[in-house]
Amino acid sequence: MTSVPHPNPAQPTHHRPEGTPVADDSAPHTLSDTPTSTRTGNPADGLVREPAVSVWTTAQTSPAAQRKGRYVPESTAHPAKMLPAVAAHAIAHYTQPGDLVLDPMCGIGTTLVEAVHAGRRAAGIEYEPHWVDVARANLVLAHQAGVAHEGRVFHGDARQIGTLLPPEYLGQAALVVTSPPYGPSTHGQVAVAPGKGIQKYHHLYGNTLDRGNLANIGHHRLLSGFTRILAGLVPYLRPGGHIAITIRPWREHAELIDLPSQILACGLHAGLIPVERCVALLARAAEHDLVARGSFFQRDFIRKQREAGLPLHLIAHEDVLLLRTPLFSQSSRELRCSQREPGAPVRSVCHVDTRVAREAGAVAS
Protein backbone atom coordinates (compact mmCIF):
# COMPACT_ATOMS: atom_id res chain seq x y z
CA MET A 1 0.00 0.00 0.00
CA THR A 2 1.42 3.33 -1.01
CA SER A 3 0.86 6.69 0.65
CA VAL A 4 -0.07 9.48 -1.74
CA PRO A 5 0.28 13.14 -0.70
CA HIS A 6 -2.90 15.21 -0.73
CA PRO A 7 -2.90 18.98 -1.00
CA ASN A 8 -5.74 19.50 1.46
CA PRO A 9 -4.69 18.71 5.07
CA ALA A 10 -8.29 17.97 5.98
CA GLN A 11 -8.56 15.25 3.35
CA PRO A 12 -7.06 11.79 3.87
CA THR A 13 -4.53 10.22 1.57
CA HIS A 14 -5.50 7.04 -0.24
CA HIS A 15 -4.76 3.44 0.70
CA ARG A 16 -6.30 0.52 -1.15
CA PRO A 17 -4.95 -2.82 0.10
CA GLU A 18 -6.34 -5.75 -1.81
CA GLY A 19 -9.70 -6.88 -0.52
CA THR A 20 -10.29 -3.80 1.69
CA PRO A 21 -12.78 -1.32 0.25
CA VAL A 22 -11.99 2.20 1.41
CA ALA A 23 -13.17 5.63 0.39
CA ASP A 24 -11.43 7.40 -2.46
CA ASP A 25 -11.62 11.14 -1.90
CA SER A 26 -9.84 12.12 -5.11
CA ALA A 27 -13.06 13.53 -6.57
CA PRO A 28 -16.25 14.49 -4.72
CA HIS A 29 -19.28 12.52 -5.75
CA THR A 30 -22.74 11.84 -4.45
CA LEU A 31 -23.58 8.42 -3.11
CA SER A 32 -26.72 6.55 -3.90
CA ASP A 33 -28.68 4.95 -1.06
CA THR A 34 -27.23 1.55 -1.97
CA PRO A 35 -23.77 1.13 -0.42
CA THR A 36 -22.86 -1.95 -2.42
CA SER A 37 -23.93 -0.78 -5.86
CA THR A 38 -21.46 0.15 -8.56
CA ARG A 39 -22.28 3.59 -9.90
CA THR A 40 -20.60 4.22 -13.22
CA GLY A 41 -21.26 7.48 -15.00
CA ASN A 42 -21.59 8.24 -18.68
CA PRO A 43 -18.06 8.33 -20.18
CA ALA A 44 -19.19 11.22 -22.33
CA ASP A 45 -19.64 13.49 -19.30
CA GLY A 46 -16.26 12.54 -17.85
CA LEU A 47 -17.77 11.24 -14.60
CA VAL A 48 -17.06 7.80 -13.23
CA ARG A 49 -18.79 7.19 -9.93
CA GLU A 50 -17.13 4.86 -7.44
CA PRO A 51 -19.04 2.25 -5.45
CA ALA A 52 -20.08 3.45 -2.02
CA VAL A 53 -17.77 2.12 0.67
CA SER A 54 -17.91 1.65 4.42
CA VAL A 55 -14.37 2.47 5.57
CA TRP A 56 -13.25 6.10 5.49
CA THR A 57 -9.49 6.68 5.74
CA THR A 58 -9.78 9.90 7.72
CA ALA A 59 -6.64 9.85 9.89
CA GLN A 60 -3.83 9.61 7.36
CA THR A 61 -2.53 12.88 8.77
CA SER A 62 -2.59 13.87 12.44
CA PRO A 63 -5.44 15.98 13.87
CA ALA A 64 -3.03 18.89 14.34
CA ALA A 65 -1.95 18.70 10.69
CA GLN A 66 -5.58 18.58 9.54
CA ARG A 67 -6.41 21.76 11.47
CA LYS A 68 -3.22 23.69 10.70
CA GLY A 69 -3.99 26.95 8.93
CA ARG A 70 -7.78 26.39 8.97
CA TYR A 71 -8.56 26.83 12.67
CA VAL A 72 -7.60 29.50 15.19
CA PRO A 73 -5.38 28.37 18.12
CA GLU A 74 -8.30 28.66 20.58
CA SER A 75 -9.91 25.67 18.82
CA THR A 76 -7.43 23.31 20.50
CA ALA A 77 -9.13 23.71 23.88
CA HIS A 78 -12.41 22.06 22.85
CA PRO A 79 -12.72 18.69 24.65
CA ALA A 80 -14.29 16.70 21.80
CA LYS A 81 -13.40 18.02 18.36
CA MET A 82 -14.50 16.19 15.23
CA LEU A 83 -11.69 15.25 12.85
CA PRO A 84 -11.86 17.69 9.92
CA ALA A 85 -11.31 14.84 7.45
CA VAL A 86 -14.45 13.07 8.72
CA ALA A 87 -16.61 16.12 8.07
CA ALA A 88 -14.86 16.77 4.75
CA HIS A 89 -15.45 13.20 3.58
CA ALA A 90 -19.17 13.30 4.39
CA ILE A 91 -19.57 16.70 2.71
CA ALA A 92 -17.72 15.60 -0.43
CA HIS A 93 -19.73 12.39 -0.82
CA TYR A 94 -23.25 13.46 0.18
CA THR A 95 -23.53 17.00 -1.21
CA GLN A 96 -22.88 19.07 -4.30
CA PRO A 97 -21.32 22.55 -4.54
CA GLY A 98 -23.72 25.21 -3.36
CA ASP A 99 -25.69 22.83 -1.10
CA LEU A 100 -26.56 23.76 2.48
CA VAL A 101 -24.85 21.82 5.30
CA LEU A 102 -25.99 22.03 8.95
CA ASP A 103 -24.54 21.11 12.34
CA PRO A 104 -26.86 21.61 15.35
CA MET A 105 -23.98 21.15 17.86
CA CYS A 106 -21.15 22.69 15.91
CA GLY A 107 -18.55 23.26 18.66
CA ILE A 108 -15.58 25.02 17.06
CA GLY A 109 -17.33 24.87 13.68
CA THR A 110 -15.48 21.96 12.08
CA THR A 111 -18.43 20.98 9.88
CA LEU A 112 -18.99 24.59 8.85
CA VAL A 113 -15.35 25.30 8.04
CA GLU A 114 -14.97 22.17 5.91
CA ALA A 115 -18.27 22.90 4.17
CA VAL A 116 -17.39 26.45 3.10
CA HIS A 117 -13.92 25.35 1.98
CA ALA A 118 -15.67 22.74 -0.19
CA GLY A 119 -17.90 25.35 -1.83
CA ARG A 120 -21.02 24.66 0.25
CA ARG A 121 -23.13 26.96 2.41
CA ALA A 122 -23.11 26.18 6.11
CA ALA A 123 -25.01 26.97 9.29
CA GLY A 124 -24.54 25.72 12.82
CA ILE A 125 -25.90 26.01 16.33
CA GLU A 126 -23.75 26.02 19.46
CA TYR A 127 -24.87 26.16 23.08
CA GLU A 128 -21.74 27.48 24.78
CA PRO A 129 -21.02 31.17 24.03
CA HIS A 130 -17.25 30.69 24.04
CA TRP A 131 -17.38 28.09 21.28
CA VAL A 132 -19.80 30.27 19.32
CA ASP A 133 -17.08 32.92 19.25
CA VAL A 134 -14.41 30.37 18.28
CA ALA A 135 -16.55 28.90 15.49
CA ARG A 136 -17.20 32.37 14.11
CA ALA A 137 -13.48 33.14 14.28
CA ASN A 138 -12.76 29.98 12.28
CA LEU A 139 -15.24 31.06 9.63
CA VAL A 140 -13.61 34.50 9.50
CA LEU A 141 -10.29 32.72 8.98
CA ALA A 142 -11.81 30.81 6.07
CA HIS A 143 -13.08 34.03 4.51
CA GLN A 144 -9.67 35.63 4.95
CA ALA A 145 -8.26 32.69 3.00
CA GLY A 146 -10.50 33.57 0.09
CA VAL A 147 -13.58 31.43 0.80
CA ALA A 148 -16.67 33.30 -0.34
CA HIS A 149 -19.45 30.89 0.67
CA GLU A 150 -21.74 31.74 3.57
CA GLY A 151 -21.16 30.27 7.01
CA ARG A 152 -23.30 31.26 10.00
CA VAL A 153 -23.30 30.29 13.68
CA PHE A 154 -26.38 30.69 15.88
CA HIS A 155 -26.19 30.69 19.67
CA GLY A 156 -28.71 28.58 21.55
CA ASP A 157 -29.97 25.15 22.60
CA ALA A 158 -30.36 22.89 19.55
CA ARG A 159 -33.40 21.31 21.16
CA GLN A 160 -35.11 24.61 20.25
CA ILE A 161 -33.86 24.50 16.67
CA GLY A 162 -37.15 25.79 15.25
CA THR A 163 -36.64 29.11 17.04
CA LEU A 164 -32.95 29.44 16.14
CA LEU A 165 -32.58 28.78 12.40
CA PRO A 166 -34.15 31.26 9.95
CA PRO A 167 -37.22 30.05 8.04
CA GLU A 168 -35.45 30.35 4.68
CA TYR A 169 -33.47 27.22 5.62
CA LEU A 170 -36.62 25.08 5.83
CA GLY A 171 -36.44 22.19 3.36
CA GLN A 172 -33.06 23.36 2.03
CA ALA A 173 -30.32 21.32 3.76
CA ALA A 174 -28.73 18.46 1.86
CA LEU A 175 -26.70 17.18 4.80
CA VAL A 176 -26.29 17.40 8.56
CA VAL A 177 -22.94 16.39 10.04
CA THR A 178 -22.85 16.28 13.82
CA SER A 179 -21.92 14.35 16.94
CA PRO A 180 -23.57 14.20 20.36
CA PRO A 181 -21.51 15.28 23.39
CA TYR A 182 -19.63 12.55 25.22
CA GLY A 183 -19.76 14.16 28.66
CA PRO A 184 -17.27 12.63 31.12
CA SER A 185 -15.68 10.36 28.51
CA THR A 186 -13.70 13.19 26.88
CA HIS A 187 -9.94 13.22 27.37
CA GLY A 188 -8.74 16.79 26.99
CA GLN A 189 -5.05 17.61 27.23
CA VAL A 190 -2.25 16.94 29.67
CA ALA A 191 0.64 18.85 31.19
CA VAL A 192 3.32 17.95 33.74
CA ALA A 193 3.85 20.50 36.53
CA PRO A 194 6.86 20.26 38.88
CA GLY A 195 5.78 18.78 42.17
CA LYS A 196 2.19 18.31 40.99
CA GLY A 197 2.56 15.43 38.57
CA ILE A 198 0.29 15.08 35.56
CA GLN A 199 -2.40 17.73 35.26
CA LYS A 200 -5.49 17.34 33.06
CA TYR A 201 -7.12 20.35 31.40
CA HIS A 202 -9.55 21.27 28.60
CA HIS A 203 -11.45 18.04 29.28
CA LEU A 204 -14.87 19.36 30.31
CA TYR A 205 -17.81 20.98 28.53
CA GLY A 206 -18.31 24.44 30.06
CA ASN A 207 -19.85 24.66 33.52
CA THR A 208 -20.59 21.17 34.83
CA LEU A 209 -23.46 22.62 36.91
CA ASP A 210 -25.25 23.87 33.79
CA ARG A 211 -28.09 21.38 33.38
CA GLY A 212 -29.08 22.95 30.07
CA ASN A 213 -25.93 21.49 28.51
CA LEU A 214 -26.59 18.03 27.04
CA ALA A 215 -23.14 16.92 28.18
CA ASN A 216 -24.14 17.35 31.83
CA ILE A 217 -27.60 15.80 32.08
CA GLY A 218 -26.90 12.07 32.16
CA HIS A 219 -26.95 9.33 29.58
CA HIS A 220 -30.69 8.72 29.22
CA ARG A 221 -31.62 12.39 29.16
CA LEU A 222 -28.91 12.90 26.56
CA LEU A 223 -30.60 10.34 24.31
CA SER A 224 -33.97 12.01 24.80
CA GLY A 225 -32.52 15.41 24.00
CA PHE A 226 -30.70 14.14 20.94
CA THR A 227 -33.89 12.54 19.63
CA ARG A 228 -35.58 15.90 19.96
CA ILE A 229 -32.75 17.55 18.01
CA LEU A 230 -32.97 14.97 15.21
CA ALA A 231 -36.73 15.43 14.95
CA GLY A 232 -36.25 19.20 14.84
CA LEU A 233 -33.78 18.86 11.97
CA VAL A 234 -36.20 16.99 9.70
CA PRO A 235 -38.12 20.10 8.50
CA TYR A 236 -34.83 21.73 7.49
CA LEU A 237 -33.69 18.80 5.34
CA ARG A 238 -34.81 18.45 1.76
CA PRO A 239 -36.43 15.15 0.67
CA GLY A 240 -33.76 12.47 0.76
CA GLY A 241 -31.41 14.71 2.76
CA HIS A 242 -28.84 12.89 4.89
CA ILE A 243 -27.75 13.11 8.50
CA ALA A 244 -24.24 11.82 9.29
CA ILE A 245 -23.63 11.22 12.99
CA THR A 246 -20.15 10.39 14.25
CA ILE A 247 -20.24 8.40 17.45
CA ARG A 248 -18.29 5.80 19.39
CA PRO A 249 -19.03 3.54 22.35
CA TRP A 250 -17.37 4.09 25.72
CA ARG A 251 -16.89 2.10 28.90
CA GLU A 252 -18.29 2.73 32.34
CA HIS A 253 -16.81 0.48 35.03
CA ALA A 254 -15.58 -1.95 32.34
CA GLU A 255 -19.09 -2.14 30.81
CA LEU A 256 -19.37 -1.20 27.14
CA ILE A 257 -22.01 1.43 26.43
CA ASP A 258 -23.17 0.88 22.85
CA LEU A 259 -23.94 4.50 22.12
CA PRO A 260 -23.99 4.07 18.30
CA SER A 261 -26.90 1.63 18.48
CA GLN A 262 -28.71 3.85 20.97
CA ILE A 263 -28.26 6.90 18.72
CA LEU A 264 -29.56 4.85 15.80
CA ALA A 265 -32.70 4.15 17.84
CA CYS A 266 -33.01 7.90 18.44
CA GLY A 267 -32.94 8.45 14.67
CA LEU A 268 -35.64 5.86 14.08
CA HIS A 269 -37.79 7.43 16.78
CA ALA A 270 -37.35 10.82 15.10
CA GLY A 271 -38.76 9.40 11.86
CA LEU A 272 -35.49 9.02 9.95
CA ILE A 273 -34.53 6.11 7.70
CA PRO A 274 -31.22 4.29 8.35
CA VAL A 275 -29.07 4.09 5.23
CA GLU A 276 -25.52 3.10 6.17
CA ARG A 277 -23.29 2.37 9.15
CA CYS A 278 -19.73 3.24 8.24
CA VAL A 279 -16.33 3.33 9.92
CA ALA A 280 -14.21 6.51 10.07
CA LEU A 281 -10.64 5.56 10.92
CA LEU A 282 -8.96 7.36 13.81
CA ALA A 283 -5.74 5.48 13.05
CA ARG A 284 -3.47 5.82 10.04
CA ALA A 285 -3.75 3.01 7.50
CA ALA A 286 -0.11 1.98 6.99
CA GLU A 287 1.34 -0.65 4.66
CA HIS A 288 0.31 -3.70 6.69
CA ASP A 289 -1.55 -2.42 9.76
CA LEU A 290 -3.21 0.52 11.48
CA VAL A 291 -1.11 3.03 13.40
CA ALA A 292 -3.10 4.28 16.37
CA ARG A 293 -3.19 7.96 17.23
CA GLY A 294 -4.38 7.54 20.82
CA SER A 295 -4.13 10.38 23.32
CA PHE A 296 -2.15 10.16 26.55
CA PHE A 297 -5.31 9.36 28.51
CA GLN A 298 -6.41 6.66 26.09
CA ARG A 299 -3.02 4.96 26.28
CA ASP A 300 -2.91 5.29 30.07
CA PHE A 301 -6.43 3.85 30.36
CA ILE A 302 -5.62 0.89 28.13
CA ARG A 303 -2.42 0.17 30.07
CA LYS A 304 -4.28 0.13 33.39
CA GLN A 305 -7.07 -2.05 32.02
CA ARG A 306 -4.60 -4.59 30.67
CA GLU A 307 -2.81 -4.67 34.01
CA ALA A 308 -6.19 -5.40 35.58
CA GLY A 309 -6.72 -8.33 33.20
CA LEU A 310 -9.08 -6.68 30.67
CA PRO A 311 -7.51 -7.04 27.18
CA LEU A 312 -8.60 -3.76 25.63
CA HIS A 313 -7.05 -2.00 22.64
CA LEU A 314 -6.68 1.61 21.58
CA ILE A 315 -9.65 2.99 19.68
CA ALA A 316 -8.91 2.90 15.96
CA HIS A 317 -12.21 4.10 14.54
CA GLU A 318 -15.55 5.66 15.26
CA ASP A 319 -18.92 4.80 13.79
CA VAL A 320 -20.63 7.05 11.27
CA LEU A 321 -24.37 6.53 11.13
CA LEU A 322 -26.06 7.70 7.92
CA LEU A 323 -29.78 8.38 8.07
CA ARG A 324 -32.02 10.26 5.71
CA THR A 325 -35.43 11.79 5.30
CA PRO A 326 -38.01 10.15 2.99
CA LEU A 327 -37.66 10.81 -0.72
CA PHE A 328 -41.24 12.07 -0.81
CA SER A 329 -43.19 14.19 1.63
CA GLN A 330 -44.24 12.16 4.65
CA SER A 331 -44.70 13.19 8.24
CA SER A 332 -42.60 11.75 11.04
CA ARG A 333 -45.71 10.28 12.64
CA GLU A 334 -46.69 8.48 9.42
CA LEU A 335 -43.15 7.19 9.02
CA ARG A 336 -42.99 5.86 12.58
CA CYS A 337 -46.37 4.18 12.18
CA SER A 338 -45.27 2.52 8.94
CA GLN A 339 -42.16 1.23 10.69
CA ARG A 340 -44.34 -0.42 13.33
CA GLU A 341 -46.79 -2.27 11.11
CA PRO A 342 -48.07 -5.44 12.84
CA GLY A 343 -46.26 -8.52 11.63
CA ALA A 344 -43.63 -6.54 9.74
CA PRO A 345 -40.24 -8.28 9.72
CA VAL A 346 -37.45 -6.78 11.80
CA ARG A 347 -35.04 -5.04 9.45
CA SER A 348 -31.30 -5.05 9.93
CA VAL A 349 -30.09 -1.52 10.61
CA CYS A 350 -26.77 -2.44 8.98
CA HIS A 351 -28.38 -2.59 5.53
CA VAL A 352 -30.17 -0.13 3.31
CA ASP A 353 -33.81 0.43 4.11
CA THR A 354 -35.89 -1.77 1.82
CA ARG A 355 -38.25 1.07 0.96
CA VAL A 356 -35.61 3.00 -0.97
CA ALA A 357 -36.51 1.30 -4.24
CA ARG A 358 -40.24 1.83 -3.66
CA GLU A 359 -39.72 5.51 -2.93
CA ALA A 360 -37.57 5.93 -6.03
CA GLY A 361 -40.34 4.35 -8.09
CA ALA A 362 -42.92 6.64 -6.51
CA VAL A 363 -40.85 9.71 -7.37
CA ALA A 364 -40.36 8.51 -10.97
CA SER A 365 -44.07 7.94 -11.44
The tens digit of pLDDT for each residue in 83-133 reads 999 999 999 999 999 999 999 999 999 999 999 999 999 999 999 999 999
**pLDDT number for residue 27:** 37
* Model pLDDT for residues 134-184, shown as the tens digit of each residue: 999 999 999 999 999 999 999 999 999 999 999 999 999 999 999 988 644
Which residue range is the domain that position 78 belongs to?
43-180+228-364
- Residue 301 exposure: Cα atoms within 13 Å on the Cβ side: 17
In a domain, 26, yes or no: no
* Model pLDDT for residues 285-302, shown as the tens digit of each residue: 998 888 888 766 677 777
In a domain, 196, yes or no: no
In a domain, 30, yes or no: no
Domain with 129 in it: what CATH number? 3.40.50.150
In a domain, 110, yes or no: yes
Domains contained in the chain, number: 1
In a domain, 57, yes or no: yes
Rg of the chain taking only CA atoms, in angstroms: 20
**pLDDT number for residue 304:** 81
Q: What is the DSSP letter of 82?
A: P
CA dist., res. 59 & res. 10, Å (int):
9
Average pLDDT over residues 61-65: 93
Nearest to 280 by CA among 248, 302, 258: 248
Q: Does the CA dihedral 298-301-305-306 come out positive or negative?
A: positive
CA dist., res. 161 & res. 171, Å (int):
14
In a domain, 221, yes or no: no
